[in-house]
Every structure is written in C-alpha cells, then in structure tokens.
Structure 1
C-alpha cells in the first residue's frame, strides 16, 4: 500500500462493465491508487485530458460508443503520454499490433487476475519513469544519431537524411532503444524487456513485426541498411560500413 506521506497515483478506468469497475476501484484503492471511472469512451477521452492528468489509464477495447483503439488514438493525438493498459478479449497477433500501434503500452487478456493487473500497472509506471529519466536534463533536446538517422527525445522527432519519418508510439520506443544501444548486439529478450517491459507476456513475434515496420520506414534503396539481424541472437543498429 502506498505511503500516506506520498501523493496517490491517479488511475483512470474506462470501462462500461459496472461489476468490473467496482472491483477494480476497490482493489486499486487498497493498493493506494486514486481511482476515477468513466463508463464510455467519450467521458474517458475528456477525463484523460482534464487536469490533473491521470498517471495511468486502464482502457477496455469494447466500449458502448467508441472502440478502445479509437479512444487511445485520440488520447495520443491530444499529446497525452500517460501509460495505457488495454483490457481485451482479442488475442490475435494482428489485434495486439493494432493496439500497440494505437499507442497502448500493454494489454491484458480477459479474464485476468487482479495480481497480474497490478503487476502490469507497476511495470508500466516503472517504464514511464525510466523513459522520462533518459531525456537530457540540461534544458536542451537530447539528440541521438546513427549515420543520417536522427532521433530527438524531447520532441520525439525522427528523420533520415533530412526526411521526416512518422512512427507509431511503439515504433518510436523500439527505435529509441535500438539507437541507445547502437553498435552493440542486443538480444531479443533484452529488447523485449526494454521496450515491452519485464511483465510483458505476449508473443515475442511482435518484435519481428515491429522491426519490419521500422525497416520499411527508415530504410530505402537510397538509404543504407541500419538495422541488422544477428541470427539466433537479436539485432544491432549500426552503419553497414561498421
């Protein structure tokens, strides 16, 4: 349980299942969270943007007015970076990719245990804090560069040879991780932990899917290959000549 001397983390739960939201509110309260409930997507969207901004969001895929995917995309389009955990009955890899591309940080398949949900929330919070700590604290944007690929961690802008590259939230996080480890072979398990977190139990084929997405966006016939596969091990981001 959180110490009373510390501010309680705010969790927004967007779900129309009354019994479930009542249970989540009870359990989250016991864990020391301050809980706000929205029973539809429109209300959830408004509350996600209203001060004080929630620290974590639990979002159901199936809502009475909009899909959780739509709401997540709109939350991200509004500039809100709050970690989002999606509750869903969809377990196909295409559905997982769709959710992650929309800006979801993690997802939990129904039915689930409360203990697992709490573990996912803790992991999401740790990742968010770790990611924030990576940004330079000198008041200037931190710039990562490998060859002509440039990533600005403050503005989240990515460019290749001066051409802007649009990335989804998860594509950006993956590229950020690869660029921070540039020149070093990164094992698959290391990448999964760094980008999807310690408590991510999904299929690691997602990594191959997102590596393919990144290659399609940052590598062309005119631009040399930067992401190299180390068979049986993982990947390395470096200039071909290196």
Structure 2
C-alpha cells in the first residue's frame, strides 16, 4: 500500500486538484497493479488521504478536501502549506510574469463576489508600475497554466478564485482582502459563494450551518431567526 500512496501523491502533484471520479481513475490501476484493495467509498478515500497526510505534513505539503460551490463539487487539492503569492509562481518565469499572478489574484479577490470578466484578466492595467509588460498571448498561456493548477477557475466567461487558492492561499486572502473574504464562523475555514444569513448577511458553509440549525434555529452571528433556504446559495445582493 505504501507504493500506492507514493504513486497517488505524485498524481496529486501533477493534477493539483482532483474530483472523486479522477481519484477513482488514478487509484483503480494503481491498486490493481499492486494487488491491494482500493478505497471504494468517499469515506474510505478520506481515511486513505489522512494516512498520507501524516507523512506529507513534515514536508510542507498537504492534501485537503474542499467543497467548491462554483462547480458544486468536492475536490481533493494538493497544497504547499507555507505558500504565498510570491512563491506560487513556478521557477522559470520572469519577475513581471510572477507579478502578474499576484496582481491577478488581488484583482479577483478585491471584488465582492471574487470573480472578474475573462477579458479583464488580460488587461495591461494589471501590470501598471512594472518595468516590463507581459504580452497578452503570454498572459493567456499563464492563466491557462494556473487554471490547470487550480489557482483560478474559468466559468461562463468569468475568472474565479480556484479551489487551490482557497486552500493554499487562505491566510493571505483573508488577511489582505478581509472586506470581502472571511472565514466561516462555525468551522473557521475560508468561505465564498455559499449561503448567507438573511438578517446580518454573514456567510457560512452550507453544511456547517445545516448541522448547526439541527440544534438551534437562530443565526450564530446575529441571533435572529434563520430564514435563508439551504437548498440554494444566497449571494450578497439577496
């Protein structure tokens, strides 16, 4: 099983974020080749990942499950536990290209709903103040690369913060963009695009507030009766 775990970690690094379907596609041949039982349920996969994390944590790496509301899916995300925007950009990039990542991240995070039109991601205005510009074609290549790595997500002609940014850069996002980006009061993890209290507009993870409301029927923030339906997300305008 240790050989399977090492192979799975390599696959996680290569893919950056994985759906349960992709996890199964990776584990099926690995387990078959090494004649070990494959984790067959979501719960057993999470136990399997937890065992891997015991060794990864000492290396400054971690595998983290996150529910990503924009796609309505749960992903397993490979993260570096001490990452910052400056360290995210891979080696081999110019200083201006690395700065493009940081400026794009901040541009998206500064929006109340944490997304921007796709064409705004290629604006030269993002690089104002730098000594050299990055060509639009190069911006498109970099954004595609960072999207594949899970730092951004393209959907309906808009660019969102991706699942890897929400996990790996959660401290940076919460501390530098606290006006729009906060932690769920119940689990203390970053929360975006989920459900809000109809009275105080504070946002919670849907599962967190659902569990809480099984015991009480008031908002844990303002104390008013909870009225927001949990079957759908509530954006900041509602």
- Greater RCO (Cα-Cα under 8 Å, separation 6 or more): 2
| TM-score range normalised by the length of the shorter chain | under 0.3
Q: Which has the higher helix share?
A: 2
The structure where strand makes up a greater share of residues is 1
TM-score between the two structures when normalised by the length of structure 2: 0.26
